């Protein structure tokens, strides 16, 4: 029970810090909004590439 509360507090605090840091960065860097809009596409492409790589490695190990 106690570890669940600690995990929840850690996750909430990291979300709050992320939100505050995005606000600070967007005030200081005018191009951050454009970068933030493109970030999900970049991370999705990276996840896809890693998945294909891991899949190929697994297939090679099976064959």
Closest to 28 measured CA to CA, from 20, 16, 38, 40: 20
pLDDT at residue 1 in the model: 56
Tokens of 57: 């490695």
For the chain, domain boundaries: 1-29, 31-63
Is residue 57 predicted with pLDDT exceeding 80?
Answer: yes
pTM for the model: 0.54
Across 41-63, average pLDDT: 95
Query: pLDDT for 4-43, tens place per residue?
Result: 888 899 999 998 998 888 888 888 888 887 888 888 999 9
Contact 48, 34 (CB under 8 A): no
3-state helix, strand, coil in the chain (%, to 5): 90, 0, 10
């Amino acid at each position: 029970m106690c570890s669940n509360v600690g995990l929840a507090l850690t996750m909430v605090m990291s979300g709050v810090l992320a939100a505050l840091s995005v606000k600070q960065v967007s005030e200081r860097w005018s191009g951050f909004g454009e970068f933030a809009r493109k970030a999900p596409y970049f991370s999705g492409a990276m996840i896809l590439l890693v998945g294909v790589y891991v899949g190929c490695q697994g297939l090679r190990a099976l064959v």
